A and B are shown apart, each in its own frame.
Chain A
Amino acid sequence: MAKLIDSFLGWMDTAAENRARRIANVSGRRSFLQKAGWALVGGAVLPMLPYDNSNGQAFARGLGEPDELPEDCEYWRYCSLHGSLCSQCGGSVTQCPPGSTPSKVAWVGTCRNPNDDKDYLVSYNDCCGKGGGCGDGCSRQEGDRPGYRYGLASESSWCLANEDKGIHCTVAIVVGLAE
């Protein structure tokens, strides 16, 4: 499986920029995922969750979420977050603020949803191309690993694969059920 990760990263690195932009623009920020260091797959091959784009927010259905999502670091989907909350920077839990661009790559956490007691894969994408601090900084970093498991490494800039390197804030996208 490690080879799969490596080959995927290599492929992503050399050939996927245009495709990644398209995925990011069309499908939200479900760009690239890794589960517990041994599965890194693109949003295109994961089961797609139905997204509700009402009220300027996009969040997965079936999570038992309240209408208004919490804006603090203890919110369950922020279990591995290491960054500042885009929901306090003009974006939302799943949306980068206007004028910024979702990172083409992301680290992934596995978080327990207290609403249904299930574990979900959460993709943490930095929003890139803007400077300036905003929003509460969260550093729960559960499941974090150093860069030898890069898909779990929250200490990396995840704007590293974007042309625009500025890091603005971080969103948390529920992309699938953890097995």
Chain B
Amino acid sequence: MANRTAAAFGLLCVIAGAYAPTLAFAQAEEFVPETVTTKERMDPGQNVFVNMQNWGGGPSVAYIYDAKDLTLKGSVSGGSQSHFTISADGNTAYMASGYYPRYDSGAGEHVLQIFDVPTNALTKEIVLPYKLAQYTDDIAFLRLSSDEKLIYIQNATPATSVTVVDLTSGTVVQEVPTPGCFGIYPTLEDHGFSTICNDGAFTTFTLSEDGTSAESQKSAKIFDPDADPIYLSSDRAEGNLLFISYHANVYRLDDSKGVIEKLSVTPIAEGVEGNWGTSGYSVVTYNEPNGILFVPMHSEHHDGSHYHGSEEVWAYDLKNKTLLYRSPLADLTAIHVTDEEVPQLFGLSLKNTKIYKFDVDPTAKFAAKQVAEHSDFGFATTLMASP
């Protein structure tokens, strides 16, 4: 038995010895060393952008997620305390931010950077006046003109003004003083913007075609900043501007005549038990095809609770002034709904540092149900989606 085992082992060794060089050679032939490359373009498809502000002097990042499932597809980065926006087609991104070489001390620079979204590539930089608003981000701080030839940038030193940049020439063409007013709400036609003022009025600035000059007109008082303060957050509804107050009153404004006019005020929480108020930062988002406003809300609201996370997101039919549905979506501090017949709703939670996607069912009173989430973006209060 021992002899037979030894003989079998010997035969195996002979066979292995005979084939081993061949096998090794075959492996060596097939091995091709890897080389490092860069993926040239993000995967195609609809994108969701989240502007993560760095408040420690370091880089801010706008993360780009796949709208389908929130897979992280790419990002663009800039300096500290960034403000961010995208072109209407979603292919160009703009970030205004601060670069502080010593992070915490010494001189710095404020810069507008322009990126090609599909490649995430930086395409242009424009140095700005050293006055950029160092403020929790809102989309009202960096806005394109309707023809995307100019971009308007919020300044605060804390004296407030707006820097106007000609994107064709890549130059700063004007600084518009906006004393006592804050936020930028571009007109839908020509060049110009409105801004919210400390007495509850709005001032509308009409700019020349080249953006180098401006004329202003102040509105009547639109809201009471003491009794019913509005957020900076806004959206468009059938061409009108929508704002909402801490106390969940929706202000519908017309900015088409060179001066802001109030069209209506709709108290969406009136008659609802529980003393409900608005929750968060990006709090006004409107689905145009269905005429539905989505608002993050919390109960027992009180002085100082306006930036708290949501308990629910309300779907409100603004045309029929009807509260349709209250989805139990907790801890959201920013939301954005797409302008599609079947809307997609996206939300941010500062508490959980997550982005969420919710499917919205138009056949069920626009109830929202979570279908995806992604973590790791950090401090963010604004988000937007490409078409």
Contact surface of A with B, Cβ cutoff 8 Å: 2-3, 5-6, 9-10, 12-13, 36-37, 79-80, 105, 129-132, 139-151, 153, 155-157, 159-161, 163-167
Contacts and interface: CB of A to CB of B under 8 A. Distances in A.
Interface string B227-258: 00111100000000000000000000000000
Interface stretch (B8-16, B86-94, B196-204, B293-301): B196-204
- What bracket does the count of chain B residues touching chain A fall in? 35 or more
A178 B315 CA distance: 41
Nearest to A149: B198
Contacts of B197: 2, 148
B104 A147 contact: no
A166 B105 contact: yes
Contacts of A166: 56-57, 100, 103-105
Q: Give the secondary structure class of A's interface.
A: loop
Nearest to A144: B304
A137 to B, nearest CB: 12
The winner among A142, A163, A166 for most chain B CB atoms within 10 A is A166
B55 A167 contact: yes
Contacts of B353: none
Given A37-B198, A165-B57, A165-B98, A160 B231 contact: no
Given A155-B135, A165-B108, A147 B183 contact: yes
A10 B55 CA distance: 26
Contacts of B107: 163
Given A165-B100, A165-B108, A147 B135 contact: yes
The winner among B98, B104, B108 for most chain A CB atoms within 10 A is B104
A155 B231 CA distance: 12
Given A144-B306, A148-B183, A157-B135, 11 more contacts: A79-B304, A131-B56, A131-B57, A132-B56, A141-B306, A147-B135, A150-B198, A156-B136, A160-B134, A160-B157, A165-B57
A149 B225 contact: yes
Nearest to B307: A141
Contacts of A139: 307
A134 B16 CA distance: 67
B98 to A, nearest CB: 7
A62 B180 CA distance: 35
Contacts of B225: 37, 145, 148-149
Contacts of B304: 79-80, 140-144
10 contacts: A131-B103, A142-B303, A146-B231, A147-B156, A147-B183, A148-B182, A149-B229, A150-B182, A155-B135, A164-B105
Nearest to B231: A146
Interface of B: 55-57, 80-81, 98, 100, 103-108, 133-136, 156-160, 179-183, 195-199, 225-226, 229-232, 303-304, 306-307
B105 A148 contact: no
Contacts of B180: 2-3, 5-6, 148
A124 to B, nearest CB: 13
A178 to B, nearest CB: 14
What 3 A-B pairs come out closest when comparing CB atoms? A166-B104, A147-B182, A6-B179
A131 B104 contact: yes
Contacts of A2: 180, 197-199
The winner among A2, A147, A149, A157 for most chain B CB atoms within 10 A is A147
B57 A150 contact: no
A16 to B, nearest CB: 11
Nearest to B158: A150
Nearest to B281: A155
A17 B135 CA distance: 21
Given A155-B136, A165-B100, A166-B104, A146 B182 contact: yes
A156 B197 CA distance: 17
Given A142-B303, A148-B197, A149-B198, A160 B158 contact: yes
B245 to A, nearest CB: 11
Contacts of B195: 148
Nearest to B141: A147
Contact of B104 (A6, A9, A129, A145): A129
A148 B138 CA distance: 13
Contacts of B156: 147, 150, 156, 160
